[in-house]
Amino acid sequence: MYEKNINETTASIKKEAEQAALKGEYEKAESMLSKAAKKRPEFEALQRDLTSVRSVLVMNNDLNKVVEYVKDNRLEEAQTSLSAIQKQISNEQNRLSATLIPKAENLATKITIGEINNQIKQLTNIEELAEKLSALSGLDLKEAAKARNKINEKIVAISTKKAEASMKEKQFNEAIATVDEGLQYVVNNEKLIQLKKRVKQEQQAFEQQQQERIKHAMEKAAEEDLKNQKHAVKVLEIKATKDEFGDVKITGEVGSEATKIVSSVEVTFEIKDKEDEVLKKGKAQIYPMYLSPGDKGKFEKNYYELEGDVTVEVTDIEWYVE
């Protein structure tokens, strides 16, 4: 009867220890089984359970070391240790070692997230950052959410910087495309939405200014063309002088007020007596033949046998615009 009670107690302890181990209470299970094994060293099933619990306890402690490696960002060491533990769990293939799988998978996820966090610092390209977002898409840990937020912030920063640089170069369509690329991954981001509005406003203002500049340039060109056609040459001086023999010399000077080179300038004039009657009409070519803007040219012509005092008056000027 005494032996029967011991066996029943041992079986009860074994069952309770097994339940504790399956709940992850490995130290409690190890303590219970260790005490029971001392009382019943011949109970082989008890010894097997104790060996299994101790093996899992060691692996769990090793996983706790991996946790510390991850916290310290010693990710390479963490991955090496975790791979060895996962291999051991796979080799043992029992219910008890399987209880470590969620913890191991959780650590594997954290290592992946840690590696991505380290990589984010080096990335300056939106597409590369988007790949990291994709890698995080199936991960639900709070660390994954933080990493996603960090990537989103960097995408917004890169998009903003690149778009503003394009705006400075007046490349507004390029700036809008950059913002749209960012919005593909950081959907409905208020900062990027406002930036896109600002780009469009600056584009509209710039295009309006461009239209005004073109209009002004066209108006100015039209004014210059009118000036070149109608008011390119101005008479600066014209006079008639009579020498001791009664010969009259008509001399004068013109100035170019055109915006282009003019050529073949010809002056038409009338010579009048003191009663203002026209005695002669004449034409004279200006020399030099070509006048640049601001240049001056001269002309002269001689007349003989004109009676009395005379005056001269320009009636027309003709020229060609080059």
The pTM of the full predicted model, rounded to 2 decimals, is 0.61
Provide the percentage of residues in the chain whose pLDDT is more than 70: 94
Coil, strand, or helix at residue 317?
strand
Exposed / middle / buried, residue 167 (Cβ in 10 Å: 0-12, 13-18, 19+): buried
CB 10 within 8 A of CB 40: yes
CA 100/CA 63 separation, integer angstroms = 9
**For 246-258, how does the pLDDT look when each residue is reduced to its tens digit (9 = 90+)?**
789 999 999 999 9
**For 160-192, how does the pLDDT look when each residue is reduced to its tens digit (9 = 90+)?**
999 999 999 999 999 999 999 999 999 999 999
Of 49-53, 195-199, 212-216, the range with the lowest mean pLDDT is 49-53
- What is the rounded average pLDDT of the residues 23-36? 75
- What is the rounded average pLDDT of the residues 202-225? 90
Provide the percentage of residues in the chain whose pLDDT is more than 90: 49
CB 81 within 8 A of CB 69: yes
- What is the rounded average pLDDT of the residues 33-44? 72
**For 299-322, how does the pLDDT look when each residue is reduced to its tens digit (9 = 90+)?**
999 998 777 889 999 999 999 998
Q: Is 121 a residue whose pLDDT tops 60?
A: yes
pLDDT band at 4 (very low <50, low <70, confident <90, very high): very low
- What is the rounded average pLDDT of the residues 24-42? 74
- Closest by CA to 232, choosing from 293, 307, 310, 300, is 293
For 259, which DSSP code? S
Average pLDDT value for the chain: 87
| DSSP letter string, 23-65 | TT-HHHHHHHHHHHHHH-TT-HHHHHHHHHHHHHHHHHHHHHH
**For 80-117, how does the pLDDT look when each residue is reduced to its tens digit (9 = 90+)?**
999 999 998 888 877 888 888 889 988 998 998 888 88
Exposed / middle / buried, residue 276 (Cβ in 10 Å: 0-12, 13-18, 19+): exposed
